Structure 1
Amino acid sequence: MQKIVLSALFILLTCSGYAQSIPVTIRLNDPSETPVIAANVRVMNVPDSSVVQYAIADTVGAVTFKLIPGNAYELLASSIGYKPLRKSLVISASDKALFFTLSEDNQLLDEVRIVGSRPLMRQEDDKVIVDPEPLISTSTSTLEVLEKTPGLFVDPDGNVYLSSTTPATIYINGREQRMSTADIASMLKSLPPDAIAHIEILRTPSAKYDASGSGGVVNVVLKKGIKIGLTGSVNASVNQGRYGNQVLGVNLNNQNGKSHSYVNLNYSKRNSYEKVETERLLANNSRVVQKAFTTHPADVAYAGFGFGYEFTPKWEVNYDSRINYNLDRSYSVNESAITRMNATTPSSENSNYLQNGTHTFSMNQGVTSRYKINEAGSEITTDFSFGYTENKGTQAYQTSFRLPQATELEGGGDWTNRRYFWAGQVDARYKLPMQITLETGLKATFQDFNSGTNYFIQVGDKQERDAFRSTTFRYRDNINAAYLQGSRSLGSFVLKVGARLENTNMKGRQMIPADTSFAINRTDLFPYLYLSRKVGAIAGYELRSYLVMRRSITRPTYEYLNPFARFVDQYLYETGNPALQPQFTTNFEVNISVQERPIIAIGRNYTQDIFTNVLYQDPANPTVAYRSYDNLGKNSETYFRLMGAIPPGKKYFFVVGMQYNYNDYRGEYENSPLEFQRGSLSLFTFHQLKLGTLSTVSLNGFYRMKGQLQFYELSNFGNLNLNVNRQFLNKKLVASLSVSDLFFTNQYRFTLNQGSVSARGARINDTRRVGLSLRYNFGIRKKEEKSGMPDFDTIERSTR
Structure 2
Amino acid sequence: MEKNSNIALLASFLIFSVSLQSVSAQEKASGEITGSVIDNTNKLAEYATVTLLKASDSSLVKGAITDENGKYHFDHVANGKYITSASMLGMVKAYSQPFTWRNSEKALEVPELVLLQNAHLLKGVSITSTKPFIQREIDKTVVNVENSIVSAGSNAWEILQKSPGVTVDNSNNTIRLQGKTGVQIYVDGRPTYLSQDQLAALLKNMNSNTLKSIEIMTQPPAKYDAAGNAGIINIITKKGKEVGLNGSITAGIGHGKHFRENAGTNLNYRNGKINLYGNYDFYKGTWWNDNYITRNFYDGTGKTLSTRTEQSSYHNSPSTSHNFKAGIDYYIDDKNTIGFMMNGAVNPSSDNRYNTTWFKNGDGSLENTSLTHSTEKANWTNYTYDVNYQGRYDSTGKELDIDVAYSKFDNTALDNYYTNAVYSDGTPLPDLPGSPNPNIRQGKTPTMIDIKTAKIDYTLPLKQGAKLSFGAKASFVTTDNNIQYFQLDNQSQQWLYDSATNHFKYTENINAAYINFNKEFKKGWGLQLGLRGEQTVSDGHQFTNDSTVKRNYFQFFPTVFINKKLDKNNTLNLSYARRIDRPDYQTLNPFRYYLDPYTYEEGNPYLQPQLTNSFNLSYAYKSLLIASLNYSNTHNVMAQVLKQDDSALITYQTMENLAKTKNIGLNVSLSIPVTSWWMSNNSINVFYNVFQGQFLGAYLNFGKAAYMVNTTNSFTLGKGFTGELSGYYNSSMLWSIFAIRPQYSVSAGIQKTLLKDKATIKLNVNDIFHTQHSYASVKYQNLDVTANNHWDSQSIGLTFTWRFNKGNVKAVHHRQSAIEEEQNRIKK
TM-score normalised by the chain length of structure 2: 0.81
1:479 shift after superposition: 0.5
| Residue aligning to 2:302 | none
| Residue aligning to 2:399 | 379
1:748 shift after superposition: 2.5
Measured at CA, do residues 666 and 149 of structure 1 come closer, stay the same or move farther in structure 2, by a change above 3 Å?
closer
| Residue aligning to 1:600 | 627
Residue 421, structure 1, aligned to residue 451, structure 2: yes
3-state DSSP of counterpart to 1:517: strand
| Residue aligning to 2:728 | 702
| Residue aligning to 2:638 | 611
Task: Give the alignment partner of residue 743 of structure 2, picking from 695, 699, 717.
Answer: 717
Residues 76 and 87, structure 1, Cα contact 8 Å, conserved in 2: no
The C-alpha deviation readout for 1:72-110, integer Å capped at 9, x for no partner, is x998654799xx99799999xxxx979778469xxxx9x
Deviates more, 1:450-459 or 1:641-650: 641-650
Measured at CA, do residues 333 and 88 of structure 1 come closer, stay the same or move farther in structure 2, by a change above 3 Å?
closer
| Residue aligning to 1:484 | 515
| Residue aligning to 1:798 | none
1:126 shift after superposition: 2.6
Cα distance in 2 for partners of 1:549, 1:337 equals 51
Cα distance in 2 for partners of 1:610, 1:518 equals 19
Cα distance in 1 for partners of 2:293, 2:121 equals 66
Residues 134 and 681, structure 2, Cα contact 8 Å, conserved in 1: no
Deviates more, 1:135-144 or 1:558-567: 135-144
| Residue aligning to 1:49 | 44
Q: Which has the higher contact order (CA 8 A, sep 6+)?
A: 2
| Residue aligning to 2:161 | 147
1:169 shift after superposition: 0.5
The C-alpha deviation readout for 1:495-526, integer Å capped at 9, x for no partner, is 111111000111101102x1231011100011
Cα distance in 1 for partners of 2:411, 2:251 equals 28
Measured at CA, do residues 144 and 369 of structure 1 come closer, stay the same or move farther in structure 2, by a change above 3 Å?
farther
Cα distance in 2 for partners of 1:90, 1:645 equals 20
Residue 257, structure 1, aligned to residue 272, structure 2: yes
Measured at CA, do residues 780 and 589 of structure 1 come closer, stay the same or move farther in structure 2, by a change above 3 Å?
farther
Residue 360, structure 1, aligned to residue 380, structure 2: yes
Measured at CA, do residues 134 and 90 of structure 1 come closer, stay the same or move farther in structure 2, by a change above 3 Å?
closer
Cα distance in 1 for partners of 2:600, 2:122 equals 65
| Residue aligning to 2:599 | 572
Measured at CA, do residues 247 and 74 of structure 1 come closer, stay the same or move farther in structure 2, by a change above 3 Å?
closer
The aligned amino acid for 2:584 is T
Cα distance in 1 for partners of 2:552, 2:781 equals 32
Measured at CA, do residues 782 and 596 of structure 1 come closer, stay the same or move farther in structure 2, by a change above 3 Å?
farther
Deviates more, 1:479-488 or 1:185-194: 185-194
1:64 shift after superposition: 12
1:717 shift after superposition: 1.3
Give runs of aligned pairs for residues 209-224 of structure 1, distance below 5 A. Answer: 209-224=224-239
1:435 shift after superposition: 1.7
Residues 225 and 262, structure 1, Cα contact 8 Å, conserved in 2: yes
3-state DSSP of counterpart to 2:201: helix
The aligned amino acid for 1:145 is I
Cα distance in 2 for partners of 1:615, 1:312 equals 59
Cα distance in 2 for partners of 1:781, 1:155 equals 45
The C-alpha deviation readout for 1:192-212, integer Å capped at 9, x for no partner, is 433333332211011111110
Measured at CA, do residues 487 and 569 of structure 1 come closer, stay the same or move farther in structure 2, by a change above 3 Å?
same
1:548 shift after superposition: 1.0
1:709 shift after superposition: 4.3
Measured at CA, do residues 716 and 311 of structure 1 come closer, stay the same or move farther in structure 2, by a change above 3 Å?
same
The aligned amino acid for 2:551 is I
Residues 732 and 741, structure 2, Cα contact 8 Å, conserved in 1: yes
Measured at CA, do residues 594 and 257 of structure 1 come closer, stay the same or move farther in structure 2, by a change above 3 Å?
farther
Cα distance in 1 for partners of 2:163, 2:793 equals 17
Deviates more, 1:366-375 or 1:377-386: 366-375
Task: Give the alignment partner of residue 685 of structure 1, picking from 708, 711, 715.
Answer: 711
3-state DSSP of counterpart to 1:646: strand
Cα distance in 1 for partners of 2:510, 2:318 equals 37
| Residue aligning to 1:508 | 540
| Residue aligning to 2:530 | 498
| Residue aligning to 2:360 | 339
Cα distance in 2 for partners of 1:489, 1:589 equals 20
Cα distance in 2 for partners of 1:642, 1:665 equals 25
Cα distance in 1 for partners of 2:737, 2:782 equals 14
Identity among equivalent positions (%) equals: 23
Measured at CA, do residues 431 and 256 of structure 1 come closer, stay the same or move farther in structure 2, by a change above 3 Å?
same
| Residue aligning to 1:289 | 310
| Residue aligning to 2:440 | 410
Measured at CA, do residues 704 and 53 of structure 1 come closer, stay the same or move farther in structure 2, by a change above 3 Å?
closer
1:714 shift after superposition: 1.4
Residue 561, structure 1, aligned to residue 588, structure 2: yes
Deviates more, 1:750-759 or 1:134-143: 134-143
CA root-mean-square deviation: 3.1
Give runs of aligned pairs for residues 50-65 of structure 1, distance below 5 A. Answer: 50-51=45-46
3-state DSSP of counterpart to 1:274: strand
| Residue aligning to 1:769 | 795
Residue 547, structure 1, aligned to residue 574, structure 2: yes
Residue 676, structure 1, aligned to residue 697, structure 2: no
| Residue aligning to 2:131 | 118
Task: Give the alignment partner of residue 181 of structure 2, picking from 157, 166, 188.
Answer: 166
Unaligned stretches of 5+ in structure 1?
1-40, 57-62, 784-800
Cα distance in 2 for partners of 1:526, 1:119 equals 34
Task: Give the alignment partner of residue 236 of structure 1, picking from 241, 251, 265.
Answer: 251
Residue 458, structure 1, aligned to residue 472, structure 2: no
3-state DSSP of counterpart to 2:193: coil
Residues 45 and 52, structure 1, Cα contact 8 Å, conserved in 2: no
Measured at CA, do residues 101 and 638 of structure 1 come closer, stay the same or move farther in structure 2, by a change above 3 Å?
closer
1:219 shift after superposition: 1.3
Residues 713 and 725, structure 2, Cα contact 8 Å, conserved in 1: yes
Residues 224 and 306, structure 1, Cα contact 8 Å, conserved in 2: no
Cα distance in 2 for partners of 1:64, 1:740 equals 32
| Residue aligning to 1:320 | 341
TM-score normalised by the chain length of structure 1: 0.83
| Residue aligning to 2:686 | 660
Give runs of aligned pairs for residues 512-551 of structure 1, distance below 5 A. Answer: 512=544, 514-537=545-568, 542-551=569-578
1:115 shift after superposition: 11
Cα distance in 1 for partners of 2:555, 2:704 equals 31
1:654 shift after superposition: 0.9
Give runs of aligned pairs for residues 74-85 of structure 1, distance below 5 A. Answer: 77-78=96-97
Cα distance in 1 for partners of 2:690, 2:591 equals 32
Cα distance in 2 for partners of 1:101, 1:515 equals 62
Task: Give the alignment partner of residue 141 of structure 2, picking from 121, 128, 136.
Answer: 128
Measured at CA, do residues 744 and 382 of structure 1 come closer, stay the same or move farther in structure 2, by a change above 3 Å?
same
1:400 shift after superposition: 1.4
Residues 660 and 682, structure 1, Cα contact 8 Å, conserved in 2: yes
Measured at CA, do residues 416 and 361 of structure 1 come closer, stay the same or move farther in structure 2, by a change above 3 Å?
same
Residues 669 and 754, structure 1, Cα contact 8 Å, conserved in 2: no
Cα distance in 2 for partners of 1:417, 1:728 equals 46
Unaligned stretches of 5+ in structure 2?
1-35, 52-85, 101-108, 300-305, 429-436, 810-828
1:278 shift after superposition: 0.9
Residues 447 and 478, structure 1, Cα contact 8 Å, conserved in 2: yes
1:706 shift after superposition: 0.4
The aligned amino acid for 1:511 is F
Residues 745 and 772, structure 2, Cα contact 8 Å, conserved in 1: yes
| Residue aligning to 2:220 | 205
Cα distance in 2 for partners of 1:64, 1:88 equals 10
Residues 174 and 219, structure 1, Cα contact 8 Å, conserved in 2: yes
Residue 440, structure 1, aligned to residue 454, structure 2: no
Residues 615 and 754, structure 1, Cα contact 8 Å, conserved in 2: no
| Residue aligning to 1:273 | 288
Residue 473, structure 1, aligned to residue 466, structure 2: no
Residues 734 and 774, structure 1, Cα contact 8 Å, conserved in 2: yes
The aligned amino acid for 2:609 is P
| Residue aligning to 2:813 | none
Cα distance in 1 for partners of 2:688, 2:88 equals 38
Deviates more, 1:759-768 or 1:590-599: 590-599
Measured at CA, do residues 115 and 349 of structure 1 come closer, stay the same or move farther in structure 2, by a change above 3 Å?
closer
